[in-house]
Amino acid sequence: MQKRWLTTLLVALAVGTLLAPPGFGQAPVKIGVIEPLSGPVAASGNYIRMGAEIARDWLNAQGAINGRKVELVIEDNKSDPKEAASAAEKLIVRDKVPAIMGAWGSSMTLAAMPKLEEYGVPMVVETSSAASITKRGNPWIFRISPPSEMEALGLEQYVDKLGARKVDFLAVNTDWGRGSIQAFGDMLKKKGVQVGVAEFMEQSATDMNAQLTKIKSTGGDTMFLTTAVEQITLVLKQAQEQRLTRKVITTGGSSSPSQLIKQAGAAAEGTYHIVFFMPWFPEAMPDPRLAKAFVDEWAKRGHPFEGLTEGFRGHDGIATIAEAVKLAGKDDPKAVRDALWKVSLTGVNGPIRFEKDGPAGKESGQSTPSIFVVQIKDGKVALPDFMAKK
The amino acid present at 24, given as its one-letter code, is F
Same-domain pairing of 306 and 192? no
Same-domain pairing of 103 and 131? yes
* Domain assignment of residue 95, yes or no: yes
- Return d(Cα 337, Cα 371) in angstroms, integer: 26
pTM for the full predicted model: 0.89
Same-domain pairing of 315 and 271? no
Q: What is the pLDDT of residue 25?
A: 56
Last residue of a domain, one of 275, 310, 325: 275
Q: Under a CB-based contact definition with an 8 Å cutoff, are residues 199 and 168 in contact?
A: yes
How many domains is the chain partitioned into structurally?
A: 2
Same-domain pairing of 37 and 125? yes
Residues pairing with 171 in the sheet: 200, 226
Q: Under a CB-based contact definition with an 8 Å cutoff, are residues 31 and 274 in contact?
A: no
Q: Under a CB-based contact definition with an 8 Å cutoff, are residues 347 and 322 in contact?
A: no
Same-domain pairing of 123 and 154? no
**Mean pLDDT by groups of 10 residues along the chain of 390 residues:** 43 42 72 97 96 98 96 97 98 98 96 98 97 96 96 94 96 95 97 97 96 96 96 98 96 92 96 97 97 98 96 98 98 98 98 98 97 96 80
Same-domain pairing of 227 and 179? yes
* Domain assignment of residue 18, yes or no: no
Q: What is the pLDDT of residue 259?
A: 94
The enclosing domain of 357 has a CATH number of 3.40.50.2300
**Nearest to residue 225, comparing CAs of 199, 189, 196, 249?**
249
- Domain membership of residue 51 as a residue range: 29-145+287-366
**Nearest to residue 66, comparing CAs of 30, 28, 100?**
28
* Domain assignment of residue 12, yes or no: no
Last residue of a domain, one of 275, 308, 326: 275
Same-domain pairing of 158 and 259? yes
* Domain assignment of residue 19, yes or no: no
Last residue of a domain, one of 275, 296, 314: 275
Q: What is the pLDDT of residue 389?
A: 62
Judged by DSSP in three states, 4 sits in helix
Same-domain pairing of 35 and 101? yes
